[in-house]
Chains A and B, each alone.
Chain A
Amino acid sequence: MAVRPDDEYDYLFKIVLIGDSGVGKSNLLSRFTRNEFNLESKSTIGVEFATRSVQTDGKVIKAQIWDTAGQERYRAITSAYYRGAVGALLVYDISKRSSFENAERWLKELRDHADQNIVIMLVGNKSDLKHLRSVSIEEGQQYAETKGLSFIETSALDASHVEEAFVRILTDIYRLVHKRSLTTGDSAGGKSASGIVYQAGRGETISVGNLSHESRSSKRKCCG
């Protein structure tokens, strides 16, 4: 089957969006994938999915993004989608302190259900609500540092830093894949990061890769 140009990519990364209900996960996603924002977007029931490709280092990275429902009741359903994700955007609302305080709980969710190598970025959304801010940039930054996460503030409403947030986490993952593939030998056990899929020139998906076993040449063969 012929492959359309927008279907060609070098890497495919699975990313999840998590965080309290109402912090703006769905709007971050629609801003990034369709450049849309909606003040009255419906709440997410279960999970929703979207995709977009970006370029970095001359490589096309396709992001498969799973947007999850924020309400506690859905945790059992949504946590199933953490498996195989190589990146997570943990979103809070800078005008809702409780959503920031809940970051701890979300990290625990990831520890319990996601791959241990998952790359996590803390995202303080709604940065446009300056007059309502209840979590300072410094506070967010500091917390991210102590937990070893990267950090960014965004606004899905005015679009600031949304693109940057996604591109940065994708690039981080990309770099990590490279570094590991250069430094680890074949025998290294390493945690599987099955969310990474490499695609051959013909466009068929070849492998659900094991992060620590990947090398550039493995792009064309199955190595799981």
Chain B
Amino acid sequence: MEPGATETTWWSLRALRFPASACLGYLVPQFSEWEAQQGGLSTDGPTSHALHYLFEAGIERPGAAALNLSGSRTSRGDAAETKDPASPRDKASGTVPEITASIGSDKAETTLWTQLEAIREASRNRSVGLLTSLAPVDRSALQRLAWRGLPDTLRAMAWKMLLDYCPMQPSRLLKSVGRKREQYWQAVADLGLVSGPRLDGRLSSEDWVRKRQIDLDVPRTAPECPLFHTSAIQDTMTRILHLWSVRHPASGYVQGLNDILVPLVYVFYADHAPEQFQLDRTLVPEQAEPLLRDAEADAYWCLCALLDALQDQYVFAQPGIQRRVQYLERLMQRIDAPLCAHLAEQNVAFMQFAFRWMNCLLVREFPLPVTLRLWDAYLSERGTFAAFHVYVCAALLVRFSAELQQRQFPELVLFLQNLPTRDWTEQDISLLLSQAYLWKAVFADARRL
């Protein structure tokens, strides 16, 4: 089957509401056959080639006419049960945008943008009346928008909604968020953290150990962004991390949580005071600080929500990380056996490099703006994103498969420790996401992975 025909068939099958995995199951062998007839065009294996092609052909194309963003009935209810990446299921249909023949995507997208923009403005001006008049946000539409990357101006609002921190119902927004912000600052005051990160005598000795580790790590956070060296941000980070660790005694503070907090703090701060929060800023003006009290509280609650699904990564012996790294390895055996063989031959264990990928959600591997794009997609998959993350890690490995297979032991590990992703753009992330998405669709059914 030729690529062109593949695309058509894909859309026809999807229009008949076959799950994406079933469509791929049908298409991939056909495509491979065609490819074989052509003398094997693809270097990275027929399957991955086909998947890539299919995705680029459709879902990822910006403003693709086939995507109906206006209130389709994609079921999301089943999302929560898919915590374990190895559990057999077919969730593909839950997240693939439903395909219809309508050409309404751009319009629907614009409507959602305008809506979010209005909510953002009204909540900044604390205009209760206006908020009450605004329609509730359609969650699945928001998820689809986020999956494809959020505009900078709407990111903060969208993330807060996707993490269920802000209600979808604008009329409830101010009250609900206001209460949370108060709770945060009260808790901080109770801990004696209120006047900056200095402490009075209210901490237990265990708290002190945590505090010491946090104090060590905060100045070592995001060293490439001067903004994170300002005392305003460092105090914020310290308070959030400390409160989080006190409230989550099973794990406490674990190194790397500081990295995970970076995108949240940055996005919420920048939303409140965009002029002051350029990443290369070295000073936060004092008059900006009151505004930031809200941003700080928001970042705290969103960190809680985000880490909810990941608790098992940070408790004793870090079983969540062990499990996900093992899953990544099994997945890679299916996707790229030659690379796995090479890694094994060179004695490079997955744990060696993938541990950090799991522990820090890839924040360390990409420049911050690129991470934000990645997280747009993660948050759109809230609840299942921990599993999805494993597929993204797989896509990352495959992306560098050729380079990795050319390298022998020491260089191989050095390469993995320091991937050449410094110059990555959102485009690179989009491709990575597409690839990951399709593998998830294909392999989610595989019981024995």
Could you list which residues of chain A lie within 8 angstroms of chain B, going by C-beta atoms?
21-22, 38, 40-51, 64, 69, 71, 73-74, 76-77, 80
Contacts and interface: CB of A to CB of B under 8 A. Distances in A.
A48 B359 CA distance: 14
Contact of B220 (A41, A49, A74): A41
B415 to A, nearest CB: 11
A80 B350 CA distance: 13
B417 A42 contact: no
A7 to B, nearest CB: 8
Interface stretch (B116-124, B160-168, B211-219, B367-375): B211-219
Contacts of B219: 40
A44 B364 CA distance: 11
Given A21-B213, A46-B355, A46-B356, A71 B255 contact: yes
Given A40-B220, A42-B220, A49-B414, A73 B352 contact: no
A42 B223 contact: yes
A41 B413 CA distance: 19
Q: Which of B229, B256, B316 counts the most chain A CB atoms within 10 A?
A: B256
Given A43-B220, A76-B317, 5 more contacts: A21-B255, A71-B255, A73-B316, A74-B255, A77-B351
A76 B318 contact: yes
A45 B256 contact: yes
30 contacts: A21-B213, A21-B216, A38-B223, A40-B229, A41-B220, A41-B223, A42-B220, A42-B364, A43-B216, A43-B217, A43-B220, A45-B256, A45-B360, A45-B364, A46-B359, A47-B352, A47-B355, A49-B352, A49-B410, A49-B414, A49-B417, A51-B410, A69-B255, A73-B252, A73-B255, A74-B318, A76-B316, A76-B317, A77-B351, A77-B355
B314 interface: yes
Contact of B255 (A40, A43, A48): A43
Interface string B215-258: 01101110100000100000000000000000000011011101
A94 B146 CA distance: 49
Contacts of A45: 255-256, 355-356, 359-360, 364
Q: Which of A43, A73, A80 counts the most chain B CB atoms within 10 A?
A: A73
Contacts of A74: 255, 318
Contacts of A48: 417
Interface string B291-330: 0000000000000000000000010111000000000000
Contacts of B356: 45-46
B364 A49 contact: no
A42 B318 CA distance: 20
A50 B414 CA distance: 7
A46 B352 contact: yes
Nearest to A51: B410
B405 to A, nearest CB: 14
Contacts of B254: 71, 73
A123 B13 CA distance: 66
A51 B412 CA distance: 12
A44 B410 CA distance: 18
Contacts of A42: 220-221, 223, 259, 364
Interface string B328-353: 00000000000000000000000110
Contact of B318 (A41, A49, A64, A73): A73
Interface in B60-118: none
A49 B416 CA distance: 10
- 7 smallest CB-CB distances across A and B, nearest first, come from A40-B223, A46-B355, A45-B356, A22-B216, A76-B317, A43-B255, A51-B410
Nearest to A74: B255
Contacts of B220: 40-43
Contacts of B355: 45-47, 77
B410 A64 contact: yes
B359 A73 contact: no
A44 B220 CA distance: 10
A117 to B, nearest CB: 22
Contacts of B252: 73
A188 B254 CA distance: 45
Interface in B182-222: 213, 216-217, 219-221
Contacts of A41: 220, 223
A13 B400 CA distance: 29
A154 B224 CA distance: 27
Q: Which of A51, A64, A77, A80 counts the most chain B CB atoms within 10 A?
A: A77
A41 B223 CA distance: 7
A38 B216 CA distance: 14
A77 B256 CA distance: 15
Nearest to A48: B417
Nearest to A77: B355
A50 B411 CA distance: 9
Contacts of B410: 49, 51, 64
B305 to A, nearest CB: 22
A43 to B, nearest CB: 5
Nearest to B229: A40
B237 to A, nearest CB: 13
B33 to A, nearest CB: 36
Contacts of B221: 42
B332 to A, nearest CB: 18
Contacts of B256: 43, 45
A45 B217 CA distance: 12
B352 to A, nearest CB: 7
Q: Which of A49, A50, A51, A74 counts the most chain B CB atoms within 10 A?
A: A49
A77 B318 contact: yes
